[in-house]
Amino acid sequence: MTDLSQKEKKILAIFLQKKELQSSATHEEMLRQGEDMSLVTVKRALSGLVKKGMLVAKGSGRSVSYELAASGRVFAEINASEYIAIDPDKRYGLHGYNFGLFSEFPAEIFSAAELDVLHAATAAYKEKAKDVSDAVQKKELERLIVELSWKSSKIEGNTYTLLDTENLLLKNTPAPGKTEAETRMILNHRDAFNFVHTNKNLFAELTQRNIEELHRLLVKDTGVGFGLRKSPVGVSGSIYRPLDTVYQVAEALEALFEVVRTLESPYAKACAALLGVS
């Protein structure tokens, strides 16, 4: 990951919203945001961001303009609270799938300092877990499955509470007043987790086959079709329109799998997989 100054981060944030700008327009926007920078300094910063692979320059001479490269999109900082406060129709996210993202994805998305923190946390976890009894391991795994199943289902609009989920998964007691579909969703998330946990070697590499097998478990008895999507869908409350043909979905998955294979750290692999599958 390339280190960026605060001013460079602010420039990337501008391009997230404005898409394509010339240096003069970028300068005006920086001034509007209270940054006291000369046009010459802005031009120098833009050139530097091009060299770092964050921006792409288009045209030449006085007509040159800039737009975000794949790395620029990955490393641009976004204030999530401010973003979701914007009316969905006015948000500055892309309206469709970015086919160039994975083909130009950086080899590492975490800085050296961030990797140090992640490695230290992993080492500390392994040290703490090495002498844990089987009974404690079982209890911790149950807690993880309960929380993961609850949170994953809640994202989909499920109204089960954490306590409801615990009673269902550990005592086999469905929550009163909840639909059969909500109950099935919770159970399917548990089964999908258990499948991955007991078949770790199968997921040493992401493939369409193992992704579809997971999907089969997640949609079991829900009335949702199995396999790659074959018809257009929309996302409520979003300007984004997902890929609408099975061929495009398959192409996007293959691009994702290739990126995950080539990324250097397991943390980057996990992050990219979550980004792509979501």
- Every domain of the chain with CATH number 1.10.3290.10 lies at 112-277
* DSSP string covering 87-101: -GGG--S-SS--THH
Task: Report phi then psi at 58, rounded to 5.
Answer: -125, 135
Enumerate the H helices of 156-245 as residue ranges. Answer: 162-171, 180-198, 208-218
Residue 215, Cβ neighbours under 10 Å: how many? 17
Q: Nearest-5° angle of CA 178, CA 181, CA 186?
A: 85
CATH of domain 6-93: 1.10.10.10
Q: How far is the C-alpha of 171 from the C-alpha of 25, rounded, in Å? A: 62
H/E run at residue 273: helix 266-277
The residue assigned the tokens 């980004």 is 275
The residue assigned the tokens 């199968």 is 202
Residue 203, Cβ neighbours under 10 Å: how many? 16
Write down the pLDDT at residue 79: 83
Write down the pLDDT at residue 19: 84
Q: Say which DSSP state 221 is in.
A: T
Residues counted in the chain: 278
Write down the pLDDT at residue 24: 92
Write down the pLDDT at residue 148: 93
Distance set, CA 237 to CA 39, 70, 91 (Å): 38, 25, 10
Q: What is the 3-state secondary structure (H, E, C) of 118-166?
A: HHHHHHHHHHHHCCCCHHHHHHHHHHHHHHHHHHHHHHCCCCCCHHHHH
pLDDT of 126-165, one tens digit each? 998 888 898 998 999 999 999 999 999 998 889 999 999 9
Q: How far is the C-alpha of 269 from the C-alpha of 120, rounded, in Å? A: 18
Homologous superfamily (CATH) for 112-277: Fido-like domain (1.10.3290.10)
Q: How far is CA 79 from the centre of its chain?
A: 15
The residue assigned the tokens 């792409």 is 56
Question: pLDDT (tens digit, 0 to 9) for every residue of the chain, 278 residues total?
Answer: 567 888 999 999 999 888 889 999 999 999 998 888 899 999 999 999 999 989 999 988 888 999 999 888 888 888 888 888 888 777 777 888 888 888 888 888 888 889 999 999 999 999 988 888 989 989 999 999 999 999 999 988 899 999 999 999 999 999 999 999 999 999 999 999 999 999 988 888 889 898 889 999 999 998 888 888 877 777 777 778 888 888 888 889 999 999 999 988 999 999 999 888 87
Candidates 22, 90, 83, 99; CA nearest to 254 is 99
- Every domain of the chain with CATH number 1.10.10.10 lies at 6-93
Write down the pLDDT at residue 1: 59
